[in-house]
Amino acid sequence: MAVTVMSGEKNAKRPHMRFISYDSGANGSHQKIYGWVNVDGKELVCTDKDEVKLLEQMKMSIFPSDIAWKSFKLEKRRSRFDIIK
């Protein structure tokens, strides 16, 4: 649920948290970090078409794309007598 909420906050350009695995930015240490960082939600705005393309390439995701989330949706309706395992 947290990933969904953070994605919504990012899309609405509000402050949110972002997961980073490597410090690969400019002047970064290029080391593994595996941590959450606060993002203010502000977006860079460019008028030059080449700069806009570059920004599109540089967009970061909230959570690594190699992580797959298992759906919480139930395949069938549960009985009130089912035992939670």
pLDDT of 56 reads: 75
pLDDT of residue 7: 78
Instruction: Average pLDDT across each block of 10 residues of the chain; the chain has 85 residues. List them in order.
Output: 74 81 70 79 74 73 66 67 62
- State the DSSP string of 7-66: HHHHHTT--EEEEEEE--STT----EEEEEEEE--------SHHHHHHHHHH---SS-TT
- The domain containing residue 18 runs over which residues? 2-58
Instruction: Assess if residue 83 is contained within a domain.
Output: no
**Number of folded domains that form the chain:** 1
> Within a domain: residue 41?
yes
Note whether residue 48 is domain-resident.
yes
Instruction: State the pLDDT at residue 64.
Output: 65
pLDDT of residue 20: 77
Q: What is the pLDDT of residue 9?
A: 81
